[in-house]
């Protein structure tokens, strides 16, 4: 028993933009956004929420990515490689303030939401663009978890489509055109619990055992 009501809301249409609709049922400032193929531990959720409470104007979550510049094509591309920095935290496992859902749905240029519907992709990139544009701050990545593996998911998941990455490249460049600049900001910061990787004696207990 989680002691809170569960509401299942059917969106007005099949759209990834529905993720950011400011439903009346959301009564809290904090919103935890999760993909249906994501598995998080209680510690990962609790620690990420505590980090968000100290960074309420940012996206705070686990999977980090970055945008990179291709000098040959003179364009941006979506980078999934390991790096010492990041500029995106994917909303498949992230906390953010409900306020940004209102802005995404009502104030963000409609052509961006249209592009998300056209590709059935890029809503997380669009959300990162929006928040970084408003705050001029990068997102905050928590824990060392970099990606998620779902052994129960079939081959029809959106991120496994062959065009998935190329569409995300196009989205980044299109969003830059709409905004008139690239608002994404790089960071080399990651939040881990204070005693992460520290050895403690048998009579001491860490706040978080694995994060």
Catalytic residues: 124
Backbone angles phi, psi at 168, to 5 degrees: -70, -35
> For residue 68, what are the β-bridge partners?
77
């Amino acid at each position: 028993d989680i002691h809170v009501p569960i509401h299942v809301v059917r969106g007005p249409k099949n759209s990834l933009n529905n993720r950011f609709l400011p439903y009346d049922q959301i009564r809290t400032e904090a919103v935890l956004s999760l993909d249906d193929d994501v598995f998080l531990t209680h510690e990962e959720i609790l620690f990420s929420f505590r980090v968000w409470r100290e960074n309420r104007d940012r996206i705070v979550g686990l999977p980090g990515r970055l945008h990179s510049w291709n000098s040959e094509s003179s364009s941006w591309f979506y980078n999934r490689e390991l790096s010492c920095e990041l500029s995106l935290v994917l909303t498949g496992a992230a906390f953010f303030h409900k306020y940004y859902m209102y802005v995404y749905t009502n104030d963000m240029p409609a052509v961006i939401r249209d592009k998300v519907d056209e590709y059935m992709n890029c809503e997380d990139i669009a959300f990162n663009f929006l928040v970084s544009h408003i705050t001029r701050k990068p997102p905050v990545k928590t824990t060392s978890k970099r990606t998620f593996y779902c052994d129960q998911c079939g081959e029809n998941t959106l991120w496994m489509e062959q065009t998935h990455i190329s569409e995300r490249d196009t989205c980044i460049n299109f969003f830059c055109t709409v905004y008139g600049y690239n608002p994404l900001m790089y960071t080399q910061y990651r939040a881990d619990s204070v005693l992460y990787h520290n050895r403690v004696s048998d009579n001491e207990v860490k706040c978080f055992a694995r994060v």
